Amino acid sequence: MNVTLILYESKYGTGKTIANTICPVLGPAKSFDINEAPQDIKYYSNIVFIFSLYGSNSGEKIISYIRDNQLDLSKKRVGLVCVGLNKEDGLKQIKKMKEIINKKDAFTTFIEGEMIIEKLTSEDKSQIKDFCSKIKTPFDDLGKLDYDKVLDLSKNLREYFNTPQFIPPTNITKKEIESFLKNKNTCTLATCYKNFVRTTPIEYEYYDGNIYIISEGGLKFIGLLNNNNISLCVYENYTNMNNLCGLQIGGDAELIEPRSEEYIEILSRKELKIENISKLPFDMNIIKIIPKKYEFLYSKFKQLGFDSKQIYIPK
């Protein structure tokens, strides 16, 4: 299983907030304060180190943890997340950390943290006060943790950790996806607009790389008319962990012009005549979905010697 360990070194809670926010997105994952970090990391395929900037003391507990436990990170995927007020300081510290863990391909990022004067210990308060007067800056709260940036981080990290290592040739992934989609005929279509989210179970047709849905109407059009980003999934019922099959597709949706050539062609593939459809006392809408990304969790890939989750991006 692709399990993630998150370790944070945080004095005033910013790093902790980041760790606990990204944890469920990265799941299966567990987040620990570095002071309570497990010594045995064999269950974990991925490790995220989150450390906040404190001058020359930045990330010192994480560094000791790595050294004291002689962590072998060679077969792990590693994320380094630096939290602080000054990006330049952050980039320097990330470089240093990257050398310590000796992982050239580590995922690295800097996130702006925050410093709230009221929270500081008296020692830190006087240190910061001196610093502010030295650089002629008002002694005041600084920085603001941006929640959206934390969510972006969680998405980027998840994509990094989920990139399969054992990948079949693209034509095999594509073939398996196509044959699964052709075998099924019902998907769950997710649409959204502002706070309105809707999932709709609906019949589809997969044809020549696109997905077509014929619909009389409904609330999904609130999303579709305002936001062409959609997500849909097609899956088998769960039986056991060795028999997983679920396809998630992200893509763009468009409405086909009624009575256009493409509209008539789609109907005719369904053996529906435009004359009959035009006689109906209501409009028939056709949604075309152009897939941009397929994520296919399919145990068959594992049986073939690959990672069970594969990603396919159509050209």
Q: Given the rule CB under 6 A, which residues bind ligand FMN?
A: 10-15, 52-55, 83-86, 89, 113-115, 120, 124, 127-128
CA 180 – CA 213 distance, rounded (Å):
17
Between 120 and 290, CB nearer to ligand FMN: 120
Between 49 and 206, CB nearer to ligand FMN: 49
Chain CA centroid to CA 296, Å: 15
Between 86 and 156, CB nearer to ligand FMN: 86
Q: Which residue is nearest to ligand FMN (CB)?
A: 113
- CA diameter of the chain: 82
The one-character DSSP state at 35 is G
Q: Closest distance between ligand FMN and the C-beta of residue 155, in Å?
A: 21
Q: Which among 4, 46, 10 has a CA at the least distance from the CA of 25? A: 4
Q: Closest distance between ligand FMN and the C-beta of residue 42, in Å?
A: 28
Q: Closest distance between ligand FMN and the C-beta of residue 31, in Å?
A: 13
Between 17 and 308, CB nearer to ligand FMN: 17
Strands 205-207 and 29-33: unpaired
Q: Closest distance between ligand FMN and the C-beta of residue 78, in Å?
A: 19
> Tokens standing for 141?
């709260």
Task: Give Cα separations from 206 to 143, 253, 301 (angstroms).
Answer: 49, 14, 22
Which amino acid is located at 266 in the chain? Answer: I
Could you tell me how many residues make up the chain? Answer: 315
Between 5 and 115, CB nearer to ligand FMN: 115
Q: Closest distance between ligand FMN and the C-beta of residue 128, in Å?
A: 6
